[in-house]
Amino acid sequence: MSGAAHPARGAGDRLTAVFWSRPKLLTLLLLLPPLLWLGVVYIGSLVALLIQSFYSIDEFSGLVVPEFTLKTYGELLIPSNADVILRTVAMAAAVTLAAVVVAFPVAFFAARYAKGRWKAVFYLGIMLPLWSSYLVKVYAWKLILAKEGIITWAAEGIGAGNVLNAVLAIPVIGGNSLSTSYIGTFLVFLYVWLPYMILPMQAALERVPTSMLEASADLGAGGWRTFRSVILPLAAPGVIAGSIFTFSLTLGDYIIPQIVGSSRFFLGQAVYSLQGTAGNIPLAAAFAVVPIAIMLVYLTVARKMGAFDAI
């Protein structure tokens, strides 16, 4: 193929001849650098994380004992640590459910009704908040939720100051002000992860064939019936795909609860403070394995339900 029509002129041509006769070689050469990087840096680090989680801390010296033990994982079951895990999972579930509700109208409108110019508006309208600075978004909410901030001002302006105080007086989820309560943490999580729910949902809804909706109408179904029996089941994979993001991101975040929320720890904060000031890397690593384990279960279930066709 190579030599017959064009005699080889240099090293480049000779290599090209080799690539033509053994196409797998080129594929392998192309793959080698990225695979080496990801394999060594990323997979290597994940293995290091697993190894660390099986080490423990010597209680007297505070030094890491590099010997295999399950003691560190056992510490996760201490009530105060188990509480952190349960609290985080509960928050992740609440954020995911709320994201489904808020995302649906936006995704449905963008997928079904936005045309031409409006399609672009919706696309950018979802994409820009998704990509714009995470920290700036969190910061914006610190301003909004502050006791002297815009929500208090607006609530008092429309004479709903009492309502706000009543909400803040609710035990557990309330607090001194919105920015020091679980409600605040929840709102910021919802805000920051919402685009991750809208996008896969919209992708799934765009794939619902119009003919199916027409068939449903022809068979006598009203708008609500079509929605419940046709659209929702077909959108489900998108919802599950979105929930993977919102759930996993909430599980692993430690900045948001640190800046907006009560002083009680979430999982990410436990990891961060344990590896930092406490210097207990094994326990921090064991904590970090928890979201991986939860997400593995979640992904296995999601895969069975066909969620990966929608990403």
Using CB under 8 A as the binding rule, the residues of this chain from 153 to 172 that contact other proteins are 153
Question: Interacting stretch for other proteins, rule CB under 8 A, among 76-84, 166-174, 216-224, 232-240?
Answer: 216-224
The answer to whether 253 contacts other proteins (rule: CB under 8 A) is yes
d(CA 206, CA 72): 47
**Residue 235 binding other proteins, by CB under 8 A:** no
- For other proteins, give the closer residue by CB, 54 or 182: 54
Query: What is the smallest separation between the CB atom of 223 and other proteins, expressed in angstroms?
Result: 6
The one among 76, 94, 259, 278 contacting other proteins by CB under 8 A: 259
- 213 interacts with other proteins by CB under 8 A: yes
- Phi first, then psi: give them for residue 159, nearest 5 degrees: 75, 25
CB 234 to other proteins: min, Å: 14
Under rule CB under 8 A, which residues in 51-70 are in contact with other proteins? 51-52, 64
Region at 223 (left for phi over 0; alpha for psi -120 to 50; beta for the rest): alpha
Q: Which residue shows structure tokens 């607006």?
A: 154
Q: Is residue 217 a contact residue for other proteins (CB under 8 A)?
A: yes
Binding positions for other proteins, 168-207, rule CB under 8 A: 191, 194-196, 198-199
Burial 80-93 (b: 16+ CB within 10 A, else e): ebeebbebbbebbe
Of these, 30, 78, 170, 215, which contacts other proteins (CB under 8 A)?
30
Give the span between the Cα atoms of 146 and 188, in whole angstroms. 13
**Residue 305: C-alpha distances to residues 56, 102, 202, 233 (Å):** 39, 22, 18, 11
Q: Check binding of 140 to other proteins (CB under 8 A).
A: yes
**Euclidean distance between CA atoms 259 and 136, whole angstroms:** 12
Check binding of 94 to other proteins (CB under 8 A).
Answer: no
